[in-house]
Structure 1
C-alpha cells in the first residue's frame, strides 16, 4: 500500500512539473527582446504558440493606434470643458492634442507598411518607419513634460498621466519589435560607410546665382517650372516651381511671411520642386508656423541680421516650452537660407524658444538662431544645419531629433546669475530610437557678453541622451569636465556622450567626466554620426542646393 501511495505522489509530482509554465511561455520569444518583456506579454496576449516577431509587431502597432485614439479623445474631452483651467494648463493640453493626432498619423502610416510585409524592409523604408516610431515616443514624452507643469492635484484627479505611461511602454515595444523584425540592420551598418568623403559644393561660390533683389515681375519671368538655382559645376540644380516675394514696403506679393505660407500649395510632390518664398530685408515681428501639409517649401532671406523674424513668447508668460517658439516648422523637406530667428524674451523669462523644428528631412543653411535658455528645439525626426550661428545659455540646443550640425558657430552667452551654460540637452528616451545630436566641424566660441560663466558640452535631459562632437573647435569657455550631470547619477550609465578629434583649449579630454556613458571614440565610430550615415544626407541634401560633407 505504501508503495502504491509513493507511486501516486510521484506521478502527481511529474504531472505538476510538466504543467509548470516554462520561461519561454511566460515571456514569449518576441517579447523577451523588448525593453518591457512582461508588459509586452500581458498587453499582446497572442495565443498562437507559433506567432513570430511580425505577428507581435503588427498586433502592437494596431493596439498603439487604439491607445493613441483613446488618449486623443480624452484630451478633446478635457479641452471641451476647460473652464477653471489656467492658461498654462490649456496650452499644455492643446500641445498634447496636437501631438496625439500626429502620433495617430504616424502609427497609421507605420501599420500600412508592416501589415503588408513579413521581411526586412529596404534601408530607406526601414529608416523612415523607425524615424516615425521614434517620433511617437518623443511626442508622448513632450506631452508628459507639458502636463507635469499643470497642477499635480488636477492631473492626479483626472488620471491623465497614468495612461500615458502605459502608452509609452506600448510605443516602445512597437519600436523594438519593428527594429527586430523589419529593421534592415545589416544594410544600415553597411550604409554607415557609404561615401565617407562625399562632398556637395552647393550654391556656386556660396551665393545664390539668382539676383533675388529684382522685383517680382522679373523673378516670375525667370521661373515657370524650370530649374532655377544652379548650384555646382557638376550640374546639380535646385528645382523651383514658383516664387513669391515678401516685403514690408508693399513692393512684393505679401507683407507678412504667414500670408505667403498660406498660399503655398499643399502636399507638393518632389518632382514639383520647391515653392520659394523670398523674404526681403526687414524685422518681421510675427510667429511663423509651417504646418505638415506644406511640403517642399523653401524660404530665402537677404542674410543673417538682414531678414529677421522675432517674437518673445516664454514659459514665464504662460506658454509651454513647446509652443513658445518664434518659428515652428513641421513640413517635411523644408529649407531655410539666409535668415535670423530670434526670441527676445531674455534670460529672465527662462525657456523661450527661437526655432522649434519637427520637420523630417529639413535643412537650415546660413541662418542664425538667437535666444537664451532653450534657443533651438530640434524636437524630432531628421534634420541638418550648415553654417548656422546659434546663441544661447542653458540647454540651448535641445530635443530628440536625429540631427547633424556642420560648420556651425555655437556661441554661449551670459545667463542669469547663478546659472551655468549647457550647449546641448539631448532627449532620447529609448535605446531603439535613431535619434541624437551630432556636432561636426563646428566652432564653440564665447559670445562677447559671456564673462566667467562655465560652459558644458551637454547634460543628459533624458535617460538615453546621445550627443557626439566631431572635429570641432572648443575655446577656453568649455569646462575641463566637459559634461554636466542633470540630477545626481541620472542617466550617467545609459547616456552616450562621445568626442572625436576636436581641437582648441576646451578640447583637452584629460580631465573629462568618468561616467560609463562617456567615450573618446575613433574614426570608425565617428563616421556613424555623419550626414551620410546618421541621417540620409545623400538622399535629400543634394536637391536642396545646400553644401554638405557626407563623411568626416
Structure 2
C-alpha cells in the first residue's frame, strides 16, 4: 500500500504543477463573439491552446472550439472537443431519421433505406464511443490520460470509421444526392470535429513539453494493468481457468453446436443468442465440424464470446450475399461481430459469391480487442472487412482478389497465408485497402511474417494479371509489410493510386521492412510510396506498439510475437 500512496502523490503533484504553470500563462484574449473571423485569421487564446492547435489540421477550427475554455487543465480541451463531436453526431443521427421519413415514406428504392438504417446504427455506435471517451477523461488524472492516450485514440478513430462507413453505404448513382446532403449538412462536421479531437489528444504532449513537463516515465496507472502472471488485473478465477484450458487444448464450452443434433443447438446463431443477460466472463461456444449456411451477427450486448471449431477446413460458416445482387457491402458479411473481446479459433468463414458478385464480405469485425487464431477467410472482393478498433489475426488464411483486406481498423495479421486468387477478366488484384482518413487516426494494416502467395488459378496466368500489395482507399491510408515472404507475382510498383479522380497518394503511408522473396525487391516501388524503412521506424508497427498487445493479447491464450521475429 505504501507504493500505491507514492504513485497517487506523484500523480497529484504533477497535476497541480501543470495547473499552476498553465494557469500562470493564460492570456485571456477571447475571440470576437467566441470565434475567429477576419478571413480565417487565428487569434491566440493562451499558450496551452496555441501549443495544442499548432499540430491540428484545421488550426482555425481548433482555436474556435477551444477559445471558450478558460481553464488551467488541458483535460478540459479534450472534454470540450469531445462534446462538440458528440453534438455533431446527434445532429447527423436526427438528420438520418428525417431523411428516412422524407425518402422512404415516398416509396424510394430499398437501397436508400438500407443505407440510412446502417447510418443510424453506425452513428449510435459513434455516440457510444464518444461517451466512453468522455467518461475516461473525466475519471482519469492528466498523467493517466496522457499515459493511456492510445485508448482515447482507439475510440475516436472508431467514430471516424463509422462516419466514413455511413457515407460508404450510398454506393449507386441514384443514392448520391442523399449522400451529398447528409455529408454537407452533418457528417462533414462529425469528421472535422472528431479529427480535431484526435489532434487535441495527440497535442497534449506538446502542451506538457511547452512547460517543461515530461510524464512519459511517471509511475501512473494504466487502463489495462497486467499482473505477474500476464493476466489483466480484472481477470477472475473463471477467466484465468479458461485461458489455461485454451493453452492446454482442454476447454469446457458453455454450449455446443452440432448440425447432427449432438449438441444443445443446431445453429450457431441460436448458440450466440443463448448468451445470458448480464453474463460475466467468457461465453464459450464449441462448433462441431460441419458446413453452417447461415448469416450471423454478434451484437454489442454479447461481449467476450470465445467460439472455436474443429479446424477451418472442417467447421465452416458460409454465405453468398453480394453487392451485385443489391446488398450493401456492410450487409454482405456472412459473419459480423460488433461486440468487444470476440475470440475465435479453428473456424472457416466464406463468401461464395465469386468474382462476379463484386463486394462480398466473408467476415466483418467491429468490436475492440478481437482476435482470430487458426481461422480461414475465403472470398474474392472485400473478403475481410476489418471495420473498426483493434484486431489481431494469427496462423490464419486470407484469400481474395480486390481489396480483400480492407476497413478502418487497427489490423495486425501475423504468421498467416495471404492467398491471391484469379479475378474476373480485365480486373487486377489488390491485397490491402486501408481507410485511415485522418493523420492522427491510430488505424492501418500491418502484415508481419506472412506468406504472400498466388492461388494455383492465379499462378497459371504466368503474371498476366497485375497484383499489388495495397492502394490508398482514403487520404491517410496506411499499410506496412514487415518480415514477410512475398511471391514474385507482385507487381514491381507494389502499389497503385485509388483512382484517377481521387488518387489519395499525397499522405498515404506504404512501407516495407525485412521482407524476403522474389516480390520483395522495393527498389522499383512507385515513387509516392514510402518504400523501405529503417528498423527503428518499423518498430512503431510491431504488435505491442501498434495494438498495445501486452495489455490484452496474453488473456486470449493465443500465441503471438510482440516484436520482430527475423531481424
| Structure 1 CA distance for aligned equivalents of residues 93 and 519 of structure 2 | 47
Asked if 1:532 is matched to 2:544, the reply is: yes
Residue 178 of structure 1: CA displacement?
2.1
| Structure 1 partner of 2:276 | 265
| Structure 2 CA distance for aligned equivalents of residues 115 and 418 of structure 1 | 54
Asked if 1:317 is matched to 2:328, the reply is: no
| Structure 2 partner of 1:474 | 486
Kept after mapping to 2: 8 A contact 1:300/1:339: yes
Match runs of 1:13-24 below 5 Å = 23-24=42-43
TM-score (norm: length of structure 2): 0.81
| Structure 1 CA distance for aligned equivalents of residues 417 and 423 of structure 2 | 18
SS at match of 1:332: coil
Asked if 1:422 is matched to 2:443, the reply is: no
CA separation of 1:462 and 1:322: change in aligned 2, threshold 3 A: same
| Structure 1 CA distance for aligned equivalents of residues 148 and 548 of structure 2 | 11
Asked if 1:59 is matched to 2:80, the reply is: yes
| Structure 2 partner of 1:227 | 241
Kept after mapping to 2: 8 A contact 1:428/1:464: yes
Q: 1:35 aligns with which of 57, 63, 73?
A: 57
| Structure 2 partner of 1:485 | 497
Asked if 1:300 is matched to 2:308, the reply is: yes
CA separation of 1:292 and 1:124: change in aligned 2, threshold 3 A: farther
| Structure 2 CA distance for aligned equivalents of residues 159 and 492 of structure 1 | 26
Ranked by relative contact order (alpha carbons within 8 Å, sequence separation 6 or more), the top structure is 1
SS at match of 1:463: coil
Residue 310 of structure 1: CA displacement?
0.7
| Structure 1 partner of 2:96 | 75
TM-score (norm: length of structure 1): 0.83
| Structure 2 CA distance for aligned equivalents of residues 131 and 374 of structure 1 | 23
Q: 2:287 aligns with which of 272, 279, 289?
A: 279
| Structure 1 CA distance for aligned equivalents of residues 430 and 440 of structure 2 | 25
CA separation of 1:182 and 1:395: change in aligned 2, threshold 3 A: same
Match runs of 1:8-407 below 5 Å = 23-25=42-44, 29=50, 30-43=52-65, 46=68, 48=70, 53-80=74-101, 82-83=104-105, 84-117=107-140, 119-121=142-144, 125-149=148-172, 151=174, 154-155=177-178, 161-181=184-204, 227-228=241-242, 230=244, 242-266=253-277, 268-269=279-280, 272=281, 274-407=282-415
| Structure 2 CA distance for aligned equivalents of residues 318 and 190 of structure 1 | 55
| Structure 1 partner of 2:6 | none
Residue 539 of structure 1: CA displacement?
1.9
Please, which moves more after superposition, 59-68 or 497-506?
A: 59-68
Kept after mapping to 2: 8 A contact 1:237/1:543: no
| Structure 1 CA distance for aligned equivalents of residues 240 and 204 of structure 2 | 43
Kept after mapping to 1: 8 A contact 2:375/2:395: yes
Kept after mapping to 1: 8 A contact 2:477/2:509: yes
Match runs of 1:491-506 below 5 Å = 491-506=504-519
**Cα RMSD between the aligned structures?**
3.0
Which sections of structure 1, spanning at least 5 residues, go unmatched? Answer: 1-19, 192-201, 203-222
| Structure 1 CA distance for aligned equivalents of residues 384 and 243 of structure 2 | 28
| Structure 2 CA distance for aligned equivalents of residues 99 and 125 of structure 1 | 25
| Structure 2 CA distance for aligned equivalents of residues 384 and 439 of structure 1 | 10
| Structure 2 CA distance for aligned equivalents of residues 540 and 475 of structure 1 | 33
Kept after mapping to 1: 8 A contact 2:243/2:555: no
1:104-155 superposed Cα distances (whole Å, 9 cap, x missing partner): 1111111122234562425773221110001101110111121354625642
Kept after mapping to 2: 8 A contact 1:227/1:237: no
Kept after mapping to 2: 8 A contact 1:354/1:375: yes
The aligned length equals 495
Residue 238 of structure 1: CA displacement?
9.0
SS at match of 1:510: helix
Kept after mapping to 1: 8 A contact 2:287/2:310: yes
Residue 68 of structure 1: CA displacement?
1.2
| Structure 1 CA distance for aligned equivalents of residues 180 and 466 of structure 2 | 42
Residue 40 of structure 1: CA displacement?
3.0
SS at match of 2:341: coil
| Structure 1 CA distance for aligned equivalents of residues 256 and 361 of structure 2 | 26
Higher helix share: 2
| Structure 2 CA distance for aligned equivalents of residues 44 and 85 of structure 1 | 42
| Structure 2 CA distance for aligned equivalents of residues 471 and 509 of structure 1 | 13
1:9-42 superposed Cα distances (whole Å, 9 cap, x missing partner): xxxxxxxxxxx98854389624343211223334
Residue 309 of structure 1: CA displacement?
0.4
CA separation of 1:311 and 1:97: change in aligned 2, threshold 3 A: same
Q: Which has the larger radius of gyration?
A: 1
| Structure 2 CA distance for aligned equivalents of residues 36 and 349 of structure 1 | 40
| Structure 2 CA distance for aligned equivalents of residues 512 and 506 of structure 1 | 11
